[in-house]
Amino acid sequence: MRKFFLLLLLYLVQQVHAQEISVVSVKQLPKSSIGKSYHPKFSPNGEYLLLTSDNYSGLKKFDLKNEQVSIITEAPNAGYNVQISADGNNIIYREQSFNKLIMYDLLFQKATASIVIGREQELSCHGYTFIE
């Protein structure tokens, strides 16, 4: 009887947390402008994609409306665990080593903060927490 209730509870939890995704349209990105890009991340407002290389080097912004590509950085590791603020105006990415984070303002197109964190510390910014 106990197993039955556990299985029922597990089933109900899965049903509550299940999300339905509907595909509105499918569009191939132009290879000529973005080159080989991997690990895409959509902005919260759906206006752009952040792209990086297969080994997370560099970071590009691809504007989905006008299909323009902006190179944010070519730093190694920049595409690893990149975060976008809730309003989509700032991103936080790593630079060179895994303990240096850069905040980049997409409106002004420049880095606005550079933060070095020690081991086993955490940094919170725009509601995102980075743990080293």
Q: pLDDT by residue (tens digit) across 76-105? A: 888 888 888 888 888 888 876 656 777 777
CA distance 24 to 29: 16
Residue 132 has pLDDT above 50, yes or no: no
pTM to 2 decimal places: 0.63
The per-residue pLDDT for range 52-82, each reduced to its tens digit, is 988 888 899 999 888 888 898 888 888 888 8
What contacts 130, CB < 8 A, 6 or more positions away?
81, 83, 92, 101, 117, 122, 123, 124
Give 125's strand partners.
Answer: 128
CB atoms within 10 A of CB 76: 16
- Of all residues in the chain, the percent with pLDDT exceeding 90 is 10
Least confident of 12-21, 35-44, 63-72: 12-21
Least confident of 28-37, 47-56, 67-76: 28-37
